[in-house]
Amino acid sequence: MKKYVLTSILLAFCFYAKAIEYPAVSKTLKNGLKVIVCQKPGNNFVYLQVWYRAGAKDEAPGVHGMAHMFEHMMFRGTEKYPGQSFFHNVEKVGGVLNASTHSDFTEYHEYVPKSALDMCMDMEADRMGNLKVTQDILNTERQVVGEEFRDGMNNWEERMMLNEYKALYPENDPYSVNPIGSLEEITSFTADECMDFYNKYYSPNYAFVVVVGDVNPDEVFAMADKYFGAVTKQLTLNDKTDLPDLTKSKPKVTEMPLDQMIQVYSYVIPYPAVSSKDYYALNMLTGILFLDQNSILNNILVKKKHLVYGIASTEETRFYKYPSEQSFDFFMNAAPGNFKVKKIVSDEISNIAANGIPQSMIDNYIKAKEAGNMQLNYSAEGIGNALGASELYYGDYNQAYHAIDQYRKVTPEDIKRVAATYLAPERINIINIKPD
């Protein structure tokens, strides 16, 4: 399976730069399952996704990492499709399948010849309603997930990011635990705990289906009703309401040790939920200021003054249902005098908060996104990801057709306002990560 954050899906939607040329239609089955179909002419393959509105944010204390573990469990079969049937059935028709876990969701997909769509819908519906997890299956998959965890911890940068993530949130925040979870808890999961997670979050009304390809929508709806319509269990959808105020939160530490001879200043910024009116303006600002290849600080600190090796974000997508903490990391040689970097960053933020940025920077930002992402419009996967993420976060897949319009609405005054609000000195926290 892919690793923890479904980067390709979220980037496809976050910066979807060109309106999708192929219209999508939908139908909601009697059991609450929404089916979204985009008829895209082309090859004889079809892209099928099943999204569940459950991820690491839904884990209880003691079972951190369960959403990712359960992603693996879903491939271990049912009575009708036992063992490795999912893999064998898809591979024998020349298709591929995969899945990923995010804090907000878990997504499963197959890319198969159109003639195999019927089979894949049957398999997906069967594991939505009839999955059984035994202790023997859990023991096997627990070793696989444990190895993924250990492999990640063998990389110093992933180790740093995981340790940094642990410091960002208060304990009662839904994002306080990275989707990778805790190895100690993963190794103690029981089959009953896995089934409890399944019974709480895997149901038709907690999920939706996306199909993209050269298909007839009415035929797809009939097929979905044939297979998924028989899954009748219903779950209560509960949005989290008792959320900590991250604008008043502080990271658990101000310094962290690092087992490399470099230093990192991590700027931690409270980020609004993707549904916030400020989201697109702030996302544009952080790109223009921190992350783009020709960003303001990259040009000054990396290209001109050579004070920083590079600037990166531990969260590539910054796409979250609820407010989150986002960090922007400045990688430097571990040496005296790095305080100059803080001074330059502070001055640039203050300048934007006071004076904004020219319209030309906004225009260039939008053009760059359009140029870099046009290819997504011709990929069934890219279209499916955009439609699915839009449905997940806005409850309306049609938002995928207008994502770039949200950036076009941003004005220099909006940039000035969000800089003064979210990048105010009292809201930015800096973690100094340095050699131990």
The structure's pTM equals: 0.92
Residue 233 lies in a domain: no
Q: Which residues contact 192 (CB under 8 A, 6 or more apart)?
A: none
Residue 365, domain extent: 246-435
CA separation for the pair 56, 288 (Å, rounded)? 30
Residue 238 lies in a domain: no
* C-beta separation of 423 from 271 below 8 A: no
User: Cα(first)–Cα(last) distance of the chain, in Å?
Assistant: 34
Residues 183 and 287 occupy one common structural domain: no
The residue length of the chain stands at 436
Residues 183 and 308 occupy one common structural domain: no
Residues 160 and 263 occupy one common structural domain: no
From 196, 228, 260, the end of a domain falls on: 228
CATH number, domain containing residue 212:
3.30.830.10
- The pLDDT assigned to 48 comes to 98
How many domains does the chain contain in total? 2
- The pLDDT assigned to 2 comes to 41
- Judged on CB neighbours under 10 Å (0-12, 13-18, 19+), 10 is buried
Residues 42 and 189 occupy one common structural domain: yes
Residue 109 lies in a domain: yes
What percent of the chain lies above the pLDDT cut of 70? Answer: 94
Residues 16 and 101 occupy one common structural domain: yes
pLDDT tens for residues 168-193? Answer: 999 889 999 899 888 888 888 899 99
Residue 1 lies in a domain: no
Residues 271 and 418 occupy one common structural domain: yes
Residues 154 and 22 occupy one common structural domain: yes
Residue 340 lies in a domain: yes
Residues 314 and 183 occupy one common structural domain: no
Three-class HEC string of the chain: CCCCCCHHHHHHHHCCCCCCCCCEEEEECCCCCEEEEEECCCCCEEEEEEEECCCHHHCCCCCCCHHHHHHHHCCCECCCCECCHHHHHHHCCCCEEEEEECCCCEEEEEEEEHHHHHHHHHHHHHHHHHCCCCHHHHHHHHHHHHHHHHHHHCCHHHHHHHHHHHCCCCCCCCCCCCCCCCHHHHCCCCHHHHHHHHHHHCCHHHEEEEEEECCCHHHHHHHHHHHHCCCCCCCCCCCCCCCCCHHHCCCCCCEEEECCCEEEEEEEEEECCCCCCCHHHHHHHHHHHHHCCCCHHHHHHHHHCCCCCEEEECCCCCCCCCCEEEEEEEEEECCCCCHHHHHHHHHHHHHHHHHCCCHHHHHHHHHHHHHHHHHHHHCHHHHHHHHHHHHHHHCCHHHHHCHHHHHHCCCHHHHHHHHHHHCCCCCCEEEEEEEC
pLDDT along the chain (436 residues), means of 10: 43 49 94 97 94 94 91 90 93 96 96 98 97 89 83 87 92 90 86 93 96 97 98 88 91 94 96 94 96 94 96 80 95 92 97 95 90 73 93 94 89 96 95 94
Residue 131 lies in a domain: yes
pLDDT tens for residues 276-289? Answer: 999 999 999 999 99
Residue 102 identity (one-letter amino acid): H
From 170, 196, 228, the end of a domain falls on: 228
Residues 201 and 256 occupy one common structural domain: no
User: C-alpha angle 272/368/290, rounded to 5°?
Assistant: 45
Residues 278 and 402 occupy one common structural domain: yes
Residues 217 and 307 occupy one common structural domain: no
From 195, 228, 261, the end of a domain falls on: 228
Cα dihedral sign for 188, 194, 197, 199? negative
Residue 316 lies in a domain: yes
pLDDT tens for residues 370-397? Answer: 876 676 677 899 899 999 999 999 999 9
Residue 234 lies in a domain: no
Residues 265 and 175 occupy one common structural domain: no
